[in-house]
Structures are given as C-alpha cells and as structure tokens.
Structure 1
C-alpha cells in the first residue's frame, strides 16, 4: 500500500556538503532514500566501503513509485539518511515522521534477534503491504535488521543504521570498522593500548573525540563489546575470502543490559511493528566508570622531546549553501592535505550518563614545526584515509555531537507551545519559520539562520564573535521563529540560539531574553522579522537595545524558572488568556 509522503525542510546541519556526485546518474525526478542493502569493497578508494543505497522515485503526488540504487560510501550515511528527499543531486526535504519515539529495550544477547531479508522472497508479508522493498533475482540476504521485542510488538532497526549511528559519533568510526583487520583498527582508534582494569583507562587517538571514548573503553575491557566490534570486519573478510562482491552485515549492540533508543520511523504491520528510519539517541551502559587520558605537550626538551607539527590554518572561510564542498567516494584525501570537520545533526544521550574522568600525561617536545594550511585550497573532499599526493583532494569528517540534556530553552519553549495548542481551542495553529520554505507546521522545529555580515556592514569584533556558532554548518547562530494564531490574532515568538558557557565545573546556556510580537499582516511580519534578524547581530542578542525601533505590539521577556510561567506572563502582557494549567 503506497502512502503519500509529507515533506518538511531538512533539519539543521543535514546535507550541508555537495553530495550530488554519488547520485549523478539519477538525473530526472525526485527520489527519497528508502533502504540500505549490502556493503561492498570500493576498488577506487579502499578505505571507503560502499553501501547499496536504495531510492524510490516520487510521483507528482509524492507517492513512492519506481526504484533505483546508488553505491555510496558508508561514511556518507550522515547525509543519505532514510527518508531524506533529493532532487538534482541536492537534499531538498525530509519525510515528516512526526515526533521521535523512545523505546525501552534489552541489549542482552539472546533477548533480541536478527531478521534477514532475501532478494527473491520476503518472509515478512507486512513489508510487501506497508513498506515494499526491491526484489532481486537472488536468494542471498540483501539486508539484515535487529528485532527488539517491545510491548505488543517489535522494533526493527536496519543493521547498517545501527552501525553508523550508535557505534561512533563521527563518519570515520563505521568506515574504519568495515575497512581494516582488527590490529589496524586498534592502531587507528587508540593512541596507546595500555590497560588499567581498575579505572578502565582508555587513550583515544587524537582524531577520536571524547564522545567515542566509552565505546573504545568497552571494547578494551569487555569481551562482548570487543567481539561485537570484531564481527563487523570479520563478515566482510569472510565474504571476500569466498569471492563474494558484497554481503549483508549483522551488527550487534556493543553492550548488554537494559537500554533506551530514541528513533524516528513509522508503525507498520497493523501497528505491531515500529520500523526505524533513523536512530536519534541512545542510553549508555552504567555498570563501569572509565578514564579518558590524553597527551599534553607542554615541556620544552631540546634533546629528548618529540618533534611536533602544528598545522596553522589561514583565516576561516565559512562554507556557503550555494558553494559547499564537493564530496567524492572515488578518491582518498591527499596525505598532508587540509582537514575539515563538519557538524551533522546532534545525537541525544538518553540520561543518566556513564561516569568518567579525564586525565593528561605531560609530554615534552624538542621542536614545533608550524605548517601553513589553506582551508580551501581544494573544493573536493573525501571521507577516506589519506593516500598519495597531488590529487587535489582534502579530508572531511562528519561529526554528530553527543548531546546531553533536554535540548535547552528552545526545545522546552517549543514543546510548551505544542502542549498549549493541543489544550486551548482558541490556539488554532502553530508553525516555525524555515530558511527556504516559509512557515512550516510539523512536530520538530528548525532554526532560521541569522545572516552573515556583508562587506558594507561595520560590526565590532564582539559582534562577529557573538554571531559565530561552530556547532552549525553555517557557523552562524540561528533563531527559533514560531508563529501562533490565537483568537484570529497572529503572534510571533523569537528565541535566539544559546551557546553553552562554562561556569566553574558545569556548562550553562547563555541568559538571553525572548521576544513576543503581534503582527496580523503576513507581509509586514516577514519584513519585521528580517529587520530584527539583521539588527540583533549588532546588539549581541539583546532585544532591549532594539526596543525603540519596534512599531508593532511587542513584549521582551526574561525566562523564569518555569517555561509555563514564562509564556503565561508573556501572553498576559499581550492581552491573551490561555489555559496553562497551574503556572508558577
């Protein structure tokens, strides 16, 4: 049964590079990423194994139609996520799957099972009825899923999805685990393999972020985790030994015991099976704390110290939407070429978080060599490991930062607005403003990017520093702009993206006021919001400094301890009465 796909704009930091080369053969029409199949060796660039990514064409009514496929590097699945919609080589939208779901599952071996899907037969009839997959003239397994029992049914997750999203925070982790034998994997992931079973000491390589240290520690001290990680390449090596060009992967959870998964997808099989398109968060094992150790070169020892090479990057040129980096899977980066780290959408750590400590080892250096590196000497980049020279290919790594907590003020404000819309008959619509598609009504909001400074602007250095937000692909702050229709009046809530600042030993969000406007003409609202987005950059996010320039009813408010109380008082000042329950 075909189901019309509802589109929403891509979320922040999704598909911010030029990935069109991978699907350049799909010239006509609009396609949606539908499925992941087998993995295979990449002859042109051996450190970037391919995944068979299946696409469905969309007809004029956005219903899935024909099928096509592409070989795409396993390290590119941060862009080619199930449900993303592409046209002319660009991601133009995502499938609206509603709210993310959180499932409590058991990762213990034996409590879950693998489900194999074969090319010439589908043993699960609900796939044919609810989510048709392509058939092939072979009895081989084309894809494997993990099936977790959940109340009244099961949760199905493609193994390739679990590998990319849950084994590591960067595009390198899945790539390394599918490329190299175990001894080389250890060399690439660990700076030192010294063990301390008492503290679970782990020393990641310099390129491996602390977000991945728990996985690396588990692999060092937990035989089950080590075997789960070893199994990935072993399956590919076994297939190569049998002269098979490609194989489906079985991927186990890398720890055992109770776990929670945050996923987006849809119910199929008469609401008995939840089919996961994407994992957006996961809990951590809590049975052992661990210690992260890093080298710190601070002592100058001309005779016995190491020689350090520090790349000196030129002034950063921000990536622009109309001029992103082109990514290739056909070549590997040049040795010594510049490296670029790009943010992907964040991945939620479902609390509580596993405890850890961080320590440093003082090292000595004899000499520091400073090598100038121009960040944009090439417009072509690759996710692979550096090989050879003078190809004009740089290195790029996608990073899905592990996010702790509830998403901060912006998420809390949005969730409260959704609740108010449901509980107040006078609250007739809620939408958020996107960069490209105007106002959108969907469960998950996006941020409106603040504009970059132009050559004619005269900002101070503090304004430039305030605007920078390295967690966004644009490297600029965003703003939540929510539009609400209440009693036939239109209100606009503006909330700026906050940075996290360190206060003693904890990080807290910046304290920034919010702004509530009433504008009942859509064209006037568009002009006013654009004006505010321009002006706010020169006041470092202080709406009070713009107060004298507002010509519409407005209220600038500080945030109280309770989100409900904050909104209650803000709307009260605008003459709006809503049922908040019991605001504090």
Structure 2
C-alpha cells in the first residue's frame, strides 16, 4: 500500500521509543492504556505504527510504548525518522456539524462495525483502516450527521484534543480519583462567585486555555461526570489489566468539529483520525485566574506544593529528550512544548482574566540552573538530583476568521457578552434598515462617481471592490453604547489579495486601512455626517485620517493590531478604538488590579 504525504511543522522532541528506531515509521493507531510501573504519575499507552519506505509503501503494523501525555505530539498519520517528524499522511480535511448532547452520538468499536456489516474499505486503503485484527475492540465516538451519515473519531484522539489544551489535564484525569484531581488542578477562590459568572482559579501546570474545561468540571455536573468517568475506567482496570479508553463529549449542544481523515463504509461515514478544531460550549462568563509564581527549592522535599515554573527555559533545544521512565526533579527547569494548533470554531466563550501587578520574587538557594537538565518528563516532580526537567505539552489555539468586517462585528458582540454591565448594546446601521441588532450585519455600498465627475481613474476605480464586475465597496458602520458613551465605528471593505498565476502565493496584499471612531453630542447629526464621510472617503481612497479634521464632534482613527491574548479575532482592534475615547479593558471589567 502507498500513501501520499505532505510537509508539516517539524517536531524534534520524542522519547527513546522513536528516537532509536532505525526505520521511518508512521503513527497508525492508538492502543490500550496501562499502568506505568516506573513513572507512576502518568499512565502508559500502546501506539501502533507502520514502517514506510522511500516510495511511501507501508509495512506491517508494529507496537511501541509511550506515555499518555505524548499522544498529542504523536498524531495519527505523522511520519517519524530518528526522533524527527516533518511530514504526515495527506488526509482529507472536513468540518462537520454535530450534536454533542446525548442522542447525537454513541460509543462503538471497530468490531461493532464489522458485526453490523459496515465496510471499512476506503479509497485511501486497499482493504480497511484496521490497525490489528477484528478482535481489537478499539473504541470510537460515532456522531450522527444531518444528512444521515456518520462521523467516527477514535476515543483516544477525542480525549487528547478536546479535553483541554494541556497534556496535564489528561494526565491528572487518567491517574487520580476526583478529590485528588481537584487538589492538583484547582486552587481556592479568593472571593465567592458573582451572579452569572464562573470564576476558576487553577494551578500553573495547566494552560490558560484550559479554563473553559476546568470551569465546566467545577460548575457543570455533566462535565464533571464525563471527567470522572476517565479515572473510573483506569481504576477498574489497573494495575493488572490494559484499558481501552471510552471517552464522551464533556459539554452539550450543537456545534462543529474539524477533522482530517478518510471516508469509510462506502462513503456513508467519515473516519476522523485527527481533530483540528472544535466549537466551544456556551454558558456563563468565565473569570480566569492562574496560580502565580514563587520559586521552590530542591530541598523543599516531595511533599512541597507545586509552584509556578520559575526556571522556565526560553531557548528550547533543537532536539528534546522526553522520558516516560522518570519523574522530574523538584525545582527543575520548565519546558513548554507546543503540539499542533487547535482551531476554535464559531463564537469563542467569554473568558476574562483577573488583572495583576506582580512583584518580583527572589530566587531561593538550591534551585537548579536552567538548562542543566538533559531530559524532561511530563510527570509530577519527585525527588531531586536525577537531571530530569519538567515538560508541559499543550495545543495552542487559533481563532477561525470569518473575514475582517465580520470579525470586527463578532469582536464587539464578544465584548458585549464578556462585559454586559459595560457594553450595553451593539448595532449596525444602513440607511434602509436603520440601526439593527440582527446577528448578520449589512454593509452600506459606496456610490460610484458619475461619468462627468472630475476625478482621476484610480479614485473612480477605488470605489469598486471588483473593478471588473463594478461591484461597489462596502462600509460597515456600527454603534456601540459603552459605559456612559455612544461610539460609532466605521470600517472599509478590503479587496481580496491577488493570487499568482499558479494560485500558490499572493502577488500583493490589500491596503491596511485604518478604522474611524467618532462621537456625536447631537445624535440628529448622525446621518448627515455619515453621508458626508461616505462621499469624502472615496476622494481620499480610504485614508480616513484625512477626514477627522472635518468632524462636527470628536473623531479619530485606529489601527488594527493583533495580540496573542485575543479571545476573538479583532478584539485588540476594538479595544484600540475604545482607547481613543479613553476607555480601557480595565474600565470595562471594573477589576481593581491585585498586587502579589
């Protein structure tokens, strides 16, 4: 059998399981979980692989051991050679609408599919995508699709990618009973919850984007039960038996899930072998607080409370040795390893951070010098002097864009849901519809110049979003009632980038227009001022800073910065617009900064 490969981001990290392999191998499937007798704080798992030669022909399935926390790096379809992966099987990528509520899915096994007479034959495989034989009862989640077809996802893949962003979540849920889970993941709240909010304070070992899962596990009995079920399976199986993981969705409701995989069952089902992204659940605004930093001495002992990674490595080595046989040392260096990005589909959940001004903390004697460690472990710190550092593996999130103008509108809706006491209303405007809160905003089309208007050709053509079809450029106008002010934002529609002849790259990017923000003391002036702006913006070809001096009240321009801390695309742009009238995020949140 021959497969097609594609290039991907290079990973140069893995443990001896793959680094010492002489053959080039492709990850094929995940097997049972079993007890780790040496590094007991993280379970082990069997990974099935197949040799792949220089012509991309596949050999017979082989079995290797690794730890559960490494699964997010050892993605199905990834190709490894001497501990390095920079290619993977070119699966099909699709987004499916599904229901995460009971009744919209079920747990089945590959053996169940055989018994039901459902074919596993695929165009990708000359027989079936079955890692071993019929007796291997690997479990999958089967989602019902609106067209009567089905989406199948291996339970282990669903656990690794949908149960939070960090490997620490998976390690703790699979290793400890519920009371110990809470001790290892959460810290006591500093104040009782405010009505309509879900505050959550958690340890440094989990990632900030784990807050949504952690909050649901704390406040949502459905999510708590789904999380509890993970350990109940391991408790019933360990230490003698191996356990085939059954995993269910931890939230309810309709949404989308993005996967890559292969069609099976004569096209009646799709086998999602990699989860690329997923919807976030709706619910109360989450107030997120992460444990703050204090160093820990190597002499503090095994019973010392876990601390923030004071010695976090900034320069990550090209090749990283991860071990599944040893625990990290107390006080050792901290290494953060990113796996594949995870795309947030649809509207992101409103999550707010507690604001801090953090005091510097002096180092304690006995803390190892960062970089001394030669290997790293994802387990819990135990003892010292082994030369084993701490590793955290997480999937960075990316925010799915719906186009610039829609992203601006969605960012305002997000801020309204996140700060309902500060952002009172958001509406878009057209002369035909007036102000509307409809979820689908409409644009105002610019008026083309008349033939006898004395303007240059470039000015006349700028009005059109497409000069061939003569479709006019649109303008998004939004009114926002924020705190005690009424703001108006205006954004121009961008032309799509021009592709090369082969479609591979852009020839030129569209101009990066600034946005316009203005206020009016007399709201009756709004339409006349807007008509004047829409007429004049054509003459300056979108350079709105040339229009601010003619405003009857206050007007200013704002740029569209990007920030890694954005919860939705264009959130930083909207906050930049607010800042022009003196409104900051702190003003929206009403938080007093806490000094630690």
2:572 to 503, 507, 510: 507
Q: Deviations over 1:354-412 (max 9, x none)?
A: 223333589999x8445665331122111111112111111111121222232999xx9
1:37 maps onto 2:31 in alignment: yes
- Structure 1 residues 33, 195: closer, same or farther in 2, change over 3 A? farther
- The separation in 1 between residues aligned to 2:306 and 2:328, in whole angstroms, is 22
1:46 maps onto 2:111 in alignment: no
- The separation in 2 between residues aligned to 1:214 and 1:10, in whole angstroms, is 29
SS of the residue corresponding to residue 238 of structure 1 reads helix
What's 1:245 paired with? 241
- The separation in 1 between residues aligned to 2:564 and 2:164, in whole angstroms, is 25
- The separation in 1 between residues aligned to 2:61 and 2:401, in whole angstroms, is 39
What's 1:79 paired with? 73
- The separation in 2 between residues aligned to 1:315 and 1:395, in whole angstroms, is 10
Gaps in structure 2 of 5+ consecutive residues: 295-304, 408-497, 510-560, 575-596
SS of the residue corresponding to residue 389 of structure 2 reads strand
User: Do the aligned partners of 1:118 and 1:142 also contact (CA within 8 Å) in 2?
Assistant: yes
- Structure 1 residues 64, 43: closer, same or farther in 2, change over 3 A? same
1:196 maps onto 2:190 in alignment: no
- The separation in 2 between residues aligned to 1:122 and 1:65, in whole angstroms, is 27
1:220 maps onto 2:213 in alignment: no
- Structure 1 residues 494, 48: closer, same or farther in 2, change over 3 A? farther
- The separation in 1 between residues aligned to 2:129 and 2:393, in whole angstroms, is 31
Deviation at 1:73, TM superposition (A): 0.9
What's 1:9 paired with? 7
Q: Equivalent residues in 2 for 1:169-184 (5 A)? A: 169-184=165-180
1:133 to 125, 130, 143: 130
User: Do the aligned partners of 2:207 and 2:394 also contact (CA within 8 Å) in 1?
Assistant: no
Deviation at 1:31, TM superposition (A): 2.0
2:52 to 46, 52, 58: 58
2:16 to 21, 26, 45: 21
Q: Equivalent residues in 2 for 1:446-525 (5 A)? A: 484-485=500-501, 500=563, 506-507=571-572
1:333 maps onto 2:328 in alignment: yes
What's 1:279 paired with? 275
User: Do the aligned partners of 1:314 and 1:374 also contact (CA within 8 Å) in 2?
Assistant: no
What's 1:163 paired with? 159
Over the residues paired in the alignment, what is the CA RMSD in angstroms? 3.7
Deviation at 1:219, TM superposition (A): 0.8
What's 1:116 paired with? 109
User: Do the aligned partners of 1:38 and 1:246 also contact (CA within 8 Å) in 2?
Assistant: yes
SS of the residue corresponding to residue 175 of structure 1 reads helix
User: Do the aligned partners of 1:332 and 1:384 also contact (CA within 8 Å) in 2?
Assistant: yes
- The separation in 1 between residues aligned to 2:118 and 2:20, in whole angstroms, is 32
User: Do the aligned partners of 1:171 and 1:399 also contact (CA within 8 Å) in 2?
Assistant: yes
- The separation in 1 between residues aligned to 2:112 and 2:132, in whole angstroms, is 5
TM-score, normalised with respect to structure 2: 0.62
User: Do the aligned partners of 2:157 and 2:274 also contact (CA within 8 Å) in 1?
Assistant: yes
- The separation in 1 between residues aligned to 2:340 and 2:358, in whole angstroms, is 35
What's 1:425 paired with? none
SS of the residue corresponding to residue 11 of structure 2 reads coil
- The separation in 2 between residues aligned to 1:351 and 1:121, in whole angstroms, is 35
2:64 to 70, 93, 103: 70
Q: Which has the larger radius of gyration?
A: 2
Deviation at 1:76, TM superposition (A): 0.6
SS of the residue corresponding to residue 271 of structure 2 reads strand
User: Do the aligned partners of 2:293 and 2:308 also contact (CA within 8 Å) in 1?
Assistant: no
What's 1:441 paired with? none
- The separation in 1 between residues aligned to 2:51 and 2:103, in whole angstroms, is 38
SS of the residue corresponding to residue 330 of structure 2 reads coil
User: Do the aligned partners of 2:28 and 2:131 also contact (CA within 8 Å) in 1?
Assistant: no
User: Do the aligned partners of 1:161 and 1:279 also contact (CA within 8 Å) in 2?
Assistant: yes
- Structure 1 residues 40, 119: closer, same or farther in 2, change over 3 A? farther
What's 1:261 paired with? 257
- Structure 1 residues 337, 483: closer, same or farther in 2, change over 3 A? farther
User: Do the aligned partners of 2:28 and 2:48 also contact (CA within 8 Å) in 1?
Assistant: yes
Greater Cα shift, 282-291 or 161-170: 282-291
Q: Deviations over 1:416-443 (max 9, x none)?
A: xxxxxxxxxxxxxxxxxxxxxxxxxxxx
2:138 to 139, 143, 146: 143
Q: Equivalent residues in 2 for 1:289-304 (5 A)? A: 289-294=285-290
- The separation in 2 between residues aligned to 1:39 and 1:119, in whole angstroms, is 20
- How many residues align? The count is 411
TM-score, normalised with respect to structure 1: 0.63
- The separation in 2 between residues aligned to 1:33 and 1:271, in whole angstroms, is 24
User: Do the aligned partners of 2:15 and 2:324 also contact (CA within 8 Å) in 1?
Assistant: no
- Structure 1 residues 311, 200: closer, same or farther in 2, change over 3 A? closer
User: Do the aligned partners of 1:176 and 1:185 also contact (CA within 8 Å) in 2?
Assistant: yes
